[in-house]
A and B are shown apart, each in its own frame.
Chain A
Amino acid sequence: MDIVRVISKRSFVLGLLLLILILLATSPLYAPRYTVILLTSIFMYIIITVSWTMFSGPTGYISLAPAAFFGVGIYTSAILGRALPLPLVIGIGGLAGFCLALLVGALTLRLRGIYFVMFTFGLVELLLHFVLWWEVNITGTTGRVVPSVDNTTVYYLMLIIFAILMLTAYLIKRSKLGLALQSIGQEEDAAAHTGVNVTMVKVMTFAISAFFMGTAGAIMATRWTYIDPRIAFNPLLSFMPVLMAIFGGMGQLYGPVIGAAIFTYLEEFLITRFPYYYMLIFGIIMVLAIVYLPDGLVGLIQKLWKRISERKYAYT
C-alpha cells in the first residue's frame, strides 16, 4: 500500500510539474504582455536564488557574490552582443561567471565561514570600482548599449535556463556531490576525513552556481539595453537571493523558487505603490523572517502539514 502511495505521489508531482511547464511555455500566446515581462523578472530572480541555494544552502557558506557573477554576464553581453549570436553570448556569459567563480573559489574556499562572507561581500564592490575605473580611464565611456531582443525571446531563454537549472539542482541534490555538500555543511573536518575532496567539491559547486548567474545576467542585459557598472554590479542583487532563499526556506528545492517568486511579485507591487518604502519593507521582512521563520515558508508549511497529518492518523 505504501508503494502504491509513493508511486502515485511521484506521478502526481511529475504531472503537476509538466502541467506547470506547459502553462509557462505557452503563456506568451495568451497572457498579456505585462505578465510575460513580470514572469521574466521572476525567472531571473529564481535562477539567481536557486543557484545561490545550490551552493550556500547545504554548505552554509554564505556567498554575497551573486551580483559579481551576474554583472560579469551582463558585461559579456554588452561586449560580445553585436559580434556573436545570442545563444553563444549567453553561453560565454555563463562561462565567464564560471571562470571567475573558479578563481575566487580556489582563492577563498580554503578559508572558513566568515572570511568567505567578507571576501565575497567585497568582490562586488571591487569589480564595480575596477570596471568603473576601466571604463572612465581606458575606454572613455561609462555606459554601454546592448542590442535589444524582443520580450518573448528573452522570456523563452529565461525559461530554458530555468528548466536546465532546476534539473541540475535536482540531480546535484540527489547525487554523491549533493551528499558531499551536505556533509561539508554539517562537519567539514569529518567530511574531509571520510574521503570527500572538500576544496574540489566546494569550488566546483560554487562555479556551477556562478555559471547560471552569468547566463541570467547575459540574458537580462538584452532586455535592459543600456548598462553601466552601477547597474551591472548592483550589490542589491547579492542581497536579494539571500533574502529570497531564507524567506522561502532552503530545506527543499522549491523553497527558494517560492521565495523568489513571492518577493519579485512583491517588489513589482511595492515599487509601483510605495516607491519610497519598498526597501524599508524588505528590510523589515528580512529581520522578521530570520527571527520568526528560521526554516522559511517551506519549514512553516511542513510544520503545519505535519500537524494536520498527525491529527488525521492519530486514532488509526
Chain B
Amino acid sequence: MMVKILDVVIAGLLLGGIYALIAVGLSLQYGVARVLNIAHGEFIMLGAFITWWLYTIVGINPLVSLAICGPITFIIGYMLHRALFTRLRISSASPAAFEGNSMLACFGLLFIIQNVAILIWGADIKGYSYLAFPVNFGGAVFAANRLVTLGFAIIIGVVFYLFLARTRLGKAIRAAAQDPAAAGLMGVNINQVLALCFGFGALMAGLGGTLLSMSYKIQPTMGLEYTIIALIVIVLGGLGSIPGSFIGGLLLGLVGSIVTYTEPGLSLVAYYVIFMLLLLAKPTGILGK
C-alpha cells in the first residue's frame, strides 16, 4: 500500500513538473504581455519535434537540445510579439479589446504552426528512447528520463524565479505586469519588455517540449491538450502569479496521477471538473489576490 501511494505521488510530481513549466510560460504571456496564447501548446510541440529531429538525425543529446530549442522558440516568440502583438496592442481600443484580438490572432498562429509542422514532419506519432532504464525509488520504479525531466523542470523554474526576483530586467517585467502604462512612464521600454516576456513564455514552452519528448510520444497535433492543461493550471494558481502556476502545475499533476491510477481515460475530464469547481468557488485561484 505504502509503495502504491509513493508510486502515485511520485508519478504525479513527475507529470506536474512539466505542467508547472509550461504553465509558467503561459502565465508570463498572459499575466504580463496580456496575450492569452492559445498557440502555447504549439511551441511545446515545436520544442519536442526539434529535439526529436536533432536526436534521430544528428544524434544530439536531448539535454543539449535544451540549449538549442530554448533560444529557437524564444526568438520565434519575440519576433512574433514585435511583428504582430505590438501592432495589435497599439491599434486596439482598450486592454480588453486587445485581449480578445490577440487571443484570436493566436488561433491563427495555432493553425499556421501546427500545419507547418505537419508539412515538415508528417502527422504521425513519433518518439525515441533516451535514458529509458528503470530507477528504483523506495520500492516504486520509474524510468530515469522522467526523473531527469522533473529535475530540469525544477531547476528551470527556480532559475527563472531568481531571474524575475533579482535582476533589473526581472524588475522591469514585474513592473510591467502591475501597470504597463506607469512602467512605461518610469522609463521601462514597454514594447521591448512585453516582447521579451512573450519570448520567455515561448522559451519555457520550448524547454517543456524538449523535456516532454524524452518520456512521451509526440505528434504535431499534441499542442492543444497541453494548452488546455496550462490554462487550467494558471487559473488554479491564480492568473498572473508565477509561483502560483508552479504550485498549481504540481498539484494538477498529482490529481492526474491519482485519476490515471484509478480510471486512465478520465484524467482530462478530472482536470476539467477541478477547473469548473474552482471557477465557481474561487476564480482567483489558490495564490490569486
Where the two chains meet, the residues of A that have a C-beta atom closer than 8 Å to any C-beta of B are: 60, 62, 107-108, 111, 113-115, 117-119, 121-123, 125-126, 129-130, 132-133, 136-137, 235, 239, 242-243, 246, 276-277, 279-280, 282-287, 290-291, 294
Tell which of A129, A277, A291 touches B265, judged by Cβ atoms closer than 8 Å.
A129
B283 and A283 contacting across the interface, CB-CB below 8 Å? no
A-B contacts, 6 of them at CB < 8 A, read A122-B228, A129-B265, A239-B111, A283-B112, A287-B109, A290-B88
With A242-B107, A287-B84 known to touch, is A122 a contact of B231 (CB < 8 Å)?
yes
Is B18's beta carbon under 8 Å from chain A?
Answer: no
Question: Which 8 residue pairs are nearest across A and B when measured between Cβ atoms?
Answer: A283-B111, A286-B108, A287-B108, A283-B112, A133-B265, A280-B115, A126-B272, A283-B108
Size of chain B's interface in residues, with CB distance under 8 A? 43
Is B280's beta carbon under 8 Å from chain A?
Answer: yes
B-side contacts of A123, CB under 8 Å? 272
B-side contacts of A283, CB under 8 Å? 107-112, 115
Is B38's beta carbon under 8 Å from chain A?
Answer: yes
A280 and B119 contacting across the interface, CB-CB below 8 Å? yes
Q: Beyond A122-B231, A129-B265, A243-B107: 6 further Cβ-contacts under 8 Å?
A: A62-B100, A62-B103, A108-B279, A113-B99, A117-B103, A277-B119
> A246 to B116, alpha carbons, bound, how many Å?
23
A-side contacts of B105, CB under 8 Å? 286-287, 290-291
A284 and B108 contacting across the interface, CB-CB below 8 Å? yes
With A117-B103, A136-B265 known to touch, is A125 a contact of B272 (CB < 8 Å)?
yes
Is B217's beta carbon under 8 Å from chain A?
Answer: no
> A239 to B224, alpha carbons, bound, how many Å?
13
B235 and A239 contacting across the interface, CB-CB below 8 Å? no
- Nearest chain A CB to B211 CB, angstrom units: 23
A111 and B279 contacting across the interface, CB-CB below 8 Å? yes
With A132-B265, A276-B119, A287-B84 known to touch, is A122 a contact of B112 (CB < 8 Å)?
no
B84 and A111 contacting across the interface, CB-CB below 8 Å? no
- Nearest chain A CB to B69 CB, angstrom units: 22
Within 8 A of A (CB), among B190-235: 224-225, 228, 231-232, 235
The residue in chain A whose Cβ has the minimal distance to the Cβ of B272 is A126
A-side contacts of B224, CB under 8 Å? 125, 235
The residue in chain B whose Cβ has the minimal distance to the Cβ of A243 is B107
> A285 to B109, alpha carbons, bound, how many Å?
10
- Nearest chain A CB to B214 CB, angstrom units: 25
A290 and B104 contacting across the interface, CB-CB below 8 Å? yes
Binary CB contact string for chain B from 160 to 184 against chain A (1 if under 8 A, 0 otherwise)? 0000000000000000000000000
Is B114's beta carbon under 8 Å from chain A?
Answer: yes
A126 and B268 contacting across the interface, CB-CB below 8 Å? yes
B-side contacts of A291, CB under 8 Å? 84, 87-88, 91, 105
A246 and B112 contacting across the interface, CB-CB below 8 Å? no
Is B276's beta carbon under 8 Å from chain A?
Answer: yes
- Nearest chain B CB to A204 CB, angstrom units: 20
A-side contacts of B225, CB under 8 Å? 125
Where the two chains meet, the residues of B that have a C-beta atom closer than 8 Å to any C-beta of A are: 30, 36, 38, 84, 87-88, 91, 96, 99-101, 103-105, 107-112, 114-116, 118-119, 224-225, 228, 231-232, 235, 239, 263, 265-266, 268-269, 272, 275-276, 279-280, 283
A294 and B112 contacting across the interface, CB-CB below 8 Å? no
The residue in chain A whose Cβ has the minimal distance to the Cβ of B104 is A290
B269 and A129 contacting across the interface, CB-CB below 8 Å? yes
- Nearest chain B CB to A251 CB, angstrom units: 14
A-side contacts of B91, CB under 8 Å? 291, 294
A-side contacts of B99, CB under 8 Å? 113-114
B108 and A290 contacting across the interface, CB-CB below 8 Å? yes
A-side contacts of B101, CB under 8 Å? 290, 294
- Nearest chain A CB to B82 CB, angstrom units: 13
> A276 to B220, alpha carbons, bound, how many Å?
14
- Nearest chain A CB to B158 CB, angstrom units: 28
With A276-B118, A291-B87 known to touch, is A133 a contact of B269 (CB < 8 Å)?
yes
- Nearest chain B CB to A261 CB, angstrom units: 20
- Nearest chain A CB to B221 CB, angstrom units: 10
A-side contacts of B84, CB under 8 Å? 287, 291
The residue in chain B whose Cβ has the minimal distance to the Cβ of A284 is B112
B111 and A119 contacting across the interface, CB-CB below 8 Å? no
B-side contacts of A276, CB under 8 Å? 115, 118-119
Tell which of A107, A136, A246 touches B276, judged by Cβ atoms closer than 8 Å.
A107
B-side contacts of A243, CB under 8 Å? 107-108
- Nearest chain B CB to A243 CB, angstrom units: 7
B269 and A277 contacting across the interface, CB-CB below 8 Å? no
B-side contacts of A122, CB under 8 Å? 228, 231-232, 272, 275
> A242 to B106, alpha carbons, bound, how many Å?
12
- Nearest chain A CB to B135 CB, angstrom units: 31
B-side contacts of A279, CB under 8 Å? 111, 114-115
The residue in chain A whose Cβ has the minimal distance to the Cβ of B239 is A114
B104 and A246 contacting across the interface, CB-CB below 8 Å? yes
- Nearest chain B CB to A300 CB, angstrom units: 15
> A62 to B101, alpha carbons, bound, how many Å?
10
